[in-house]
Structure 1
Amino acid sequence: MRTAAVAGMVTAGAAVVSLVHTPGAVADPHASAVAPTAMSTSAPAAFSPDSASSVIVKSPVTGSDAADNGDEAADDSAAETTTDDTATDDAATDDTTTDDGAAADTATQAAQDDAAAQEESAPADKGRGAEYNADGTIVVIDKAEQPKPQPASAEQIDQWINEALDVMKAHGIPGSYDGIKSNLIRESSGDPHTINMWDSNAVKNIPSKGLLQVIDPTFEQYHVEGTSTDIYDPVANIVAACNYAADRYGSMDNVNSAY
Structure 2
Amino acid sequence: MRTTTLIPRRIATTGITVLGAAGIATAALTGTAHAQAPAKPADKVLSADSATAAEHVATQAAHAKAAKDGKKAEDYPDNLDGWIREAMSIMKKHGIPGSYDGIKRNIIRESGGDPGAVNDWDINAQKGIPSKGLLQVIQPTFDQYHVKGTADKLTDPVANIVAACNYAADRYGTMDNVDSAY
The TM-score range, normalised by the shorter chain, is 0.5 to 0.7
1:175 alignment partner in structure 2? 98
Q: 2:80 aligns with which of 133, 136, 157?
A: 157
2:107 aligned residue (184, 196, 202): 184
Q: Which amino acid aligns with 2:105?
A: S
Task: Give CA deviations for 1:139-183 in whole Å, capped at 9, x if unaligned.
Answer: xxxxxxxxxxxxxxx971100000000000000100000000000
Q: Could you list the per-position Cα deviations for residues 88-113 of structure 1 after superposition, in whole angstroms to 9, with x for gaps in the alignment?
A: xxxxxxxxxxxxxxxxxxxxxxxxxx
Q: Please give the alpha-carbon distance, in whole angstroms, between the structure 2 residues aligned to 1:256 and 1:181.
A: 12
Q: Give the equivalent residue in structure 1 for 2:158.
A: 235
Structure 2 counterpart of 1:171, one-letter code: H
The structural deviation recorded for 1:187 is: 0.1
Q: Which structure 1 segments of 5+ residues have no match?
A: 1-153
- RCO higher in 1 or 2 (8 Å CA, sep ≥ 6)? 2
Give the CA deviation at 1:250.
Answer: 0.1
Q: For residues 200 and 185 of structure 1, what CA distance do their matches in structure 2 show?
A: 21
Partner SS state of residue 140, structure 2: helix
Residue 135 of structure 2 aligns to a residue whose secondary structure is coil
Deviation, structure 1 residue 238? 0.1
Cα shift readout 1:107-144 (whole Å, capped 9, x = no counterpart): xxxxxxxxxxxxxxxxxxxxxxxxxxxxxxxxxxxxxx
CA shift, 1:253, in A, is: 0.2
5 Å matches for 1:97-108? none
- 1:1-259 equivalence runs, <5 A: 156-259=79-182
- Please name the residue that 2:47 is paired with: none
How much does 1:256 deviate?
Answer: 0.5
CA deviations 1:204-228 (Å, max 9, x no partner) are 1110000000000000000001100
Deviations 1:43-75 (A, max 9, x none): xxxxxxxxxxxxxxxxxxxxxxxxxxxxxxxxx
Aligned residue type for 2:134: L
Moved over 3 A (4+): none
TM-score in terms of structure 2 length: 0.57
Structure 2 CA distance for aligned equivalents of residues 183 and 198 of structure 1: 19
The RMSD of aligned alpha carbons is 1.1
User: Which residue of 2 is the match for residue 49 of structure 1?
Assistant: none
Instruction: Kindly provide the amino acid, as one letter, of the partner of residue 181 in structure 1.
Output: K
Q: CA deviation at 1:240?
A: 0.1
CA distance in 2 between counterparts of 1:202 and 1:157 reads 25
**What is the CA-CA distance between 1:195 and the residue it aligns to?**
0.5
